[in-house]
Structure 1
Amino acid sequence: MKNYTCAVLTTSDKGSRGEREDTSGPALMEILAARGFTVAAHELVPDRIEDIQRVLLAWIDDRQIDLVVTTGGTGLAPSDVTPEATRPLLEREIPGMAEAMRAASFTKTPHAVMARGLAGSRGQSLIINLPGSRRAALENIEVLLPALPHALDKIKGSTEDCQP
């Protein structure tokens, strides 16, 4: 795998106030580093569209980070706004990634049908919304890990055939 950069954005009102420890963000950084990604950034912000978008735009448009994963804010609570923050920034959605995560999660819990995370590209970066719980975030990223290098190659303009 090429040396791709990644960043993890945790969205949590309680986490941003110090009322809850962020366990999903560090776990995601660990698994991505173990898979050969260079972890370039991690941040924790409240569940506010403007805060989420500010970080995503800085990481993608300014720093050109290859893979940005968010964790948190993908459920049905009124404060869960990560998909609403992400969608307007995407140039192209990649629904198969979100569908694969939900399908795999549904084999473990019927609550997976409530997951609203998105995946898509902006410029030459890939953005993936993951659930906020450590376990669910890791289960979901595991589904996508085998496809991520090829997806990033394609987003960056590779013309190689899509063969597993």
Structure 2
Amino acid sequence: MWKIGVVTSSNSVYRGERENDCFLRLEMLLKSNFDVDVTHHRVSPDNIEMLKENMIELVDRERVDLLITIGGTGLSPEDVTPEATELVIDRHVPGLAEEMRRSAMQNSRKALLTRAAVGTRGNALVINLPGSLPAMEWCFLAIADQISSALAIIQGKNENVNI
């Protein structure tokens, strides 16, 4: 099965001032949708270099198949996860990011304000999720049905996929 890594980007979680409730919920969603566990988890402050280092470590050294980031996707000056992701990914997967926003908009128009990105690094899929609990869940569930197919294609296990 897949190796999954998660990086939580949050100054307050990093400093221990707030519980990492999004990570706990994401673990439950991964288990219920794919019957997999998170194999690696890092908590990072909202810092481009630290986020980049954590993402590269999990994909290149720990060889995770799926890397999910939580938080840092909004418009605040501290929100730098998409910028860090740009430094890490090889290719964009815009359809997944667009679908997350489109689907989340059914619940809140503020979904337009997320800058979450999706891309690949080598044979891994990298997904940014928002750091608010309902938005994280809406975005994950919007694309959960495509994650298995995306990973199979990225890893060369299913080359005959028709769109």
TM over 0.5: yes
CA distance in 1, matches of 2:137, 2:47: 23
Q: CA deviation at 1:159?
A: 4.1
1:9 paired residue number: 7
Is 2:27–2:37's contact at 8 Å kept on the other side of the alignment?
Answer: no
Q: 1:25 aligns with which of 17, 23, 26?
A: 23
Deviations 1:81-115 (A, max 9, x none): 00000012110100000000000011111111111
TM-fit CA distance, 1:9: 1.0
How far 1:125 sits from its partner (Å)? 0.4
In the TM superposition, residue 33 of structure 1 has moved relative to its aligned partner by: 2.2
1:40-55 alignment runs, 5 A limit: 40-55=39-54
* TM-score computed with the length of structure 1 as normaliser: 0.94
Contact 1:4 1:67 in 2 (8 A): yes
Structure 2: stretches of 5+ with no match in the other structure:
none
The secondary structure found in structure 2 opposite 1:99 is: helix
Contact 2:46 2:72 in 1 (8 A): yes
Aligned to 1:77: 76
Q: TM-score, normalised by structure 2?
A: 0.95
Please tell me the residue identity of whatever aligns with 1:10: T
Q: Residues of 2 paired with 1:122 and 1:37: CA distance?
A: 21
